[in-house]
A and B are shown apart, each in its own frame.
Chain A
C-alpha cells in the first residue's frame, strides 16, 4: 500500500484518538471517527465545505454540552481532535499539509497533557518527524541533502539548545485546576462510590504510582495496603469523602518507620497514596493538606506527575477519634436499616453488647451471606438489596456492605479507598501499583482498640489479598472474552512480553523522574547548586538563549568553509620547504620555471623538486585538461 499524506494523517488522527479515548467522552471519539469515515464519501467541494462547517459547529455544541462544568482541558483536546479530523478532508495543497502538521503537533501536545510520560513523548516526537518528512518529500526537496552530516549539524545543536532552554526556562506555576471546584468530576471513583453503578469491573493495568526505597524493608509486597482517601458520607446509595472538619497535623511516629519515594502519575492527582499506617510527608512537589483520618490531599489537582517522600510508621495507625468522626461514622439514612439490624442482632439487645461483640456479630452476619468474589457481578439496585440477596461482588461491594452492617448496629465505620498489592520491578527496584490494584476496606472504631482495620474481601476471597489482584483476577477470570471466543490471559501475558514491558517501564520511569519531569522547586534546587546564587533562573534562561544563538552561526560558518585542494596544500608545503632553502617563487613564475631555478640554485633536492613539480603539473594541467 502506497503511503500518502492523507493516509498518514488519517492513521495518526485515529491512532491518537484511540490513545486518549478513555480520557474523553465516547461521543467525542465516535464523532471524530465518523467525521473521518464521512470524508471518504463526500467529494463535491461545496457539499464538503458546508458539511465541514456544520460538523465544526456541531462539534463545538457537543463539547459545550458534554463539558458543561467547564473541563477546560478535555474540551480543548476534544476541539483539537475534531479539527484534526476535519482537516483531513482537505489535503490538496502543500499549505494544507503544513496546516495539518501544525494541528497534529498540537494534538501531540494534548497527548502529553493527558499522559505525561516519556514513552508518549518519544513516540509523539517520532510521529511528528515522520509526518514532516512526508511534507518535505512532497515539496520535492532532495532529502539526501538533509541526511548524515548535514542533518547532524542541524539537529544536534537544535537538541542541545532546546535542552538548555528547557532546563533553564523558569517555571512559574504548578497548574491551575482548583481542587475544590472539580473534585467530584475529576477524582471519580476515588472520592465517591456509587453502589448503583458498581457493575462489571474493568480496571486497566495503567500505572497509578511507583514506589522506590521499599526494597530494603523486605515487605511482602502483595500484602501491602496503600491508603488514599476515606469515604464517610452515605447518601442515596453513594459513599463520599468528607474531610472539611478533619484538617490537622499528623501524629508523631513512634516506631518502625519506613521511608520511601512515590511518583504519582494518575490522570488527575488529588489524593496522595501512602502506606497504610501513620504517615508523614517528608517532601512533596506540590502543596497538600493532611486530614486526621489519615489522608493527604493536594490543594490543587495536578495533571502532572507528583513526587513526594513519605515516612510511615507501618505498625501504627491514625488513632484520632473526633466527635465529628463519631457522628459521621454512625450516620446511616436507610429505609431498610431496622430490618437489616434485626437480622444482624438476631434478637440480642444492642445496648448490652460491647463494641467487640458487635464487631463479631457484624463479621458473622457478613460471613453468613456467603458472598462470592467476581469481577462481573450484576448491577444491584441498592446496597440493602446486595446485603440481603446479593451473591457476588468485589471489594467495593464488600466494604460498602460491611460498613452498612457495622453502622446499623452502632459501630462508627469508614470505608478506606486505596490500593493493595502491586508488582515489583527488579530493573529499578520499584513497586508498581496499577489501576487493577485498586482496593477498598473498612475501618471500624472499637472503644478499646481505636480504629480497627478490617478487610471484608479477605473473608470472601483470601486469595485476592494473599496473591494480589493481578494473579488472583487471573485465577478468577482466566479468559478474556472476545465475542464468542475465549482467549487465555496467559497467552496475552506471553505476547505482551512481561519482562520487556517491565524494562520499558523502568526506562520510562527513569526519564520521567530523573531527566524530564521535575518541578519548580527541584529545578531551583539543582540549578542553584550548580550556579552562583546571585544568578536567578530567569537570567540564566536569557543568557542561555542569547549566548547559544551564535552556536548555529559558528557551526554553519565552519561547515561552509571551503576545503583546500589537498594537491594545492601539498604544493604550498613544497614552496615553504624551498623557501627555507632560500628559493622563493615569484608570483608570475610558472611551476616549470620555478623547478628549473630550484634545480640550478640548490643541490641535493633534485628528486623532491622534480617529483613535486611533476605531481603539480600532472594534477592541475594534464588531468584537468582531459
Chain B
C-alpha cells in the first residue's frame, strides 16, 4: 500500500513538478522514526523523565539534520546531456549522463529512475557519486556517468524525464529531482533465430552480355578446359578463364501471414531482426516489406541495417 501511494504521489509530482528543483519527502523509515519520537515524547512527559525526553530530542534533531543533509546531497546537480545508443530488447545498453555540480559537498549515492516502458536500469540499486564509476572532466566541473540499462520492449519514444534521487545519509528522507533530457530512446526487437518470417528472393533477369569469368594469362598447370580458345584464335595469345562465383540474389523479409496476434508479431519481428544481422554478415542484399505500402528496397550497408532495425522498432508502435 505504501509503495502504491508513493508511486501515485511521484507520478503526480512528475506531471506537475518543475525540473531541476529538488523535492524532499520522508521515507517510510523516516515516518516510523517520527512516530517513535512522538511516543517517546508522550512517555517522557507522562513520567516526567528527563532522559527519555533528551533521548527523544536527540533522535528528533538527527532526523531533522539528516533532512538537510539529504537535501544538500542533491542540490546543485544539473544534467547537461544524456545519450543512449539504440540496442535490442534483452541486451544491455549504456545510458551516458553528464552532470554539472555547483555544490562543494559533492553528491553521494545517487540513484536513478527512468520512468518509461522501454528501458530500465540493469541494476535497480545502481548508485553513483562523484567518486565512484565516474570520469571527471573539465577541471572537475562536470561528471559523466555510464549507466547500464536493459531494453524491456521494442519501440521508439522520447524519454521526457529522468529522476535522480538520494537517501543518503540515513535513509530517513528521499530527495529527488526531475530532469528533462529530451532523450530519444530506440529499442530494437530482440534477436531470435526463429525463422518464422517470410523470405522472398528477388529474381533478377539475367543479362546475356554478362560474363561469369575473367581472363588471366595462361600458366603451366592450368587445366586445358579453362583455356579460352576463342581468344587464342583472335589474339594468338593463351588465356585461362578465372570463374567468378555467382552473386546471391537479394532478399526481402516480410511477415509470414498478414494477420498476426501481438505475440506472433513480436516473434516475427524478432526473427526478422536476427535474419537482418545474418544477411548483413553474409554480404547479401536485403530489404523489408512490413506492410503493403511500406517497403525498404534491398541494399547492403551499415546505414541500411540501422534503417531496417529502426523500421522494426517503429513498426505499429
Contact = CB atoms under 8 A, between A and B. Distances in A.
Given A165-B57, A166-B57, A562-B104, A112 B51 contact: yes
A146 B62 CA distance: 13
Sorting the interface of chain A by its residue count into under 10, 10 to 19, 20 to 34 or 35 or more gives: 35 or more
B105 A304 contact: no
A220 B52 CA distance: 38
B53 interface: yes
A263 B168 CA distance: 44
A560 B54 contact: no
Chain B interface mostly helix, strand, loop or mixed?
Answer: helix
Contacts of B102: 562
B36 A166 contact: no
Given A102-B33, A561-B104, A109 B40 contact: yes
B213 interface: no
Interface in B233-289: none
Contact of B58 (A125, A559, A560): A125
A304 B69 contact: no
Interface in B1-38: 28-29, 32-33, 36
B104 A166 contact: no
A162 B66 CA distance: 14
Given A106-B36, A556-B69, A113 B49 contact: yes
Sorting the interface of chain B by its residue count into under 10, 10 to 19, 20 to 34 or 35 or more gives: 35 or more
B68 interface: yes
Contact of A553 (B44, B68, B169, B171): B68
Contacts of A304: 47-50
A503 to B, nearest CB: 21
Nearest to A561: B104
A525 interface: no
Interface stretch (A153-161, A231-239, A418-426): A153-161
Contacts of B29: 95, 98
Nearest to A158: B61
Contacts of B52: 109, 112-113
A191 B188 CA distance: 86
Interface in A51-99: 73, 95, 98-99
Contacts of B48: 171, 173-175, 302, 304, 519-520
B218 interface: no
Contacts of B56: 109
Interface in B151-198: 168-171
B75 interface: yes
Contact of A172 (B45, B49, B59, B168): B45
A105 interface: yes
B139 interface: yes
Contacts of B64: 158, 161, 549, 552
A113 B29 CA distance: 25
Which of A106, A113, A158 has the most chain B CB within a 10 Å cutoff? A158
Interface string A109-128: 10011001010110011000
A113 B44 CA distance: 8
Contacts of A531: none
Contacts of A163: 54, 57
A187 interface: no
Which of B43, B57, B69 has the most chain A CB within a 10 Å cutoff? B57
B26 to A, nearest CB: 13
Contact of A173 (B45, B67, B139): B45
B36 A105 contact: yes
A112 to B, nearest CB: 4
A380 interface: no
A177 to B, nearest CB: 9
A113 B62 CA distance: 22
A427 interface: no
Contacts of B72: 556-557, 559-560
B60 interface: yes
Contacts of A121: 51, 54-55
B39 interface: yes
Given A112-B51, A141-B109, A171-B48, A158 B32 contact: no
Nearest to B54: A166
Contact of A560 (B33, B62, B76, B168): B76
A472 interface: no
A176 interface: yes
Interface string A272-316: 000000000000000000000000000000111000000000000
Contacts of A106: 36, 39-40
Contacts of A560: 72, 75-76, 103-105
Contact of B49 (A95, A303, A557): A303
Given A98-B29, A553-B68, A560-B104, A139 B171 contact: yes
B51 A516 contact: yes
A190 interface: no
A518 interface: yes
B2 to A, nearest CB: 10
A608 interface: no
A145 interface: yes
A518 B76 contact: no
B53 A169 contact: yes
Nearest to A72: B46
A176 B46 contact: yes
Given A105-B36, A552-B65, A173 B46 contact: yes
Which of A118, A145, A174 has the most chain B CB within a 10 Å cutoff? A145
Contact of A162 (B44, B45, B49, B60): B60
Contacts of A158: 58, 61-62, 64-65
Contacts of A120: 51
B171 A145 contact: no
Which of A109, A145, A157, A556 has the most chain B CB within a 10 Å cutoff? A109
B304 interface: no
B47 A146 contact: no
Nearest to A102: B36
B32 A98 contact: yes
B231 to A, nearest CB: 65
A563 interface: yes
27 contacts: A102-B33, A109-B55, A112-B52, A113-B43, A121-B55, A125-B55, A154-B66, A155-B65, A158-B65, A162-B54, A162-B57, A166-B54, A169-B57, A173-B45, A173-B46, A173-B48, A175-B46, A304-B48, A516-B50, A516-B54, A520-B48, A552-B68, A557-B72, A560-B105, A562-B102, A562-B104, A624-B139
Interface of A: 73, 95, 98-99, 102, 105-106, 108-109, 112-113, 116, 118, 120-121, 124-125, 132, 136, 139, 141-142, 145-146, 154-155, 157-159, 161-163, 165-166, 169, 171-176, 302-304, 516-520, 549, 552-553, 555-557, 559-563, 624
Given A113-B49, A517-B50, A552-B67, 20 more contacts: A102-B33, A109-B40, A109-B55, A125-B58, A139-B171, A141-B168, A145-B108, A155-B62, A157-B65, A161-B64, A162-B57, A162-B58, A165-B61, A173-B46, A302-B48, A556-B72, A559-B72, A560-B76, A560-B104, A561-B104
Going nearest first, the 4 A-B pairs with the smallest beta carbon separation are: A162-B57, A112-B51, A158-B61, A552-B68
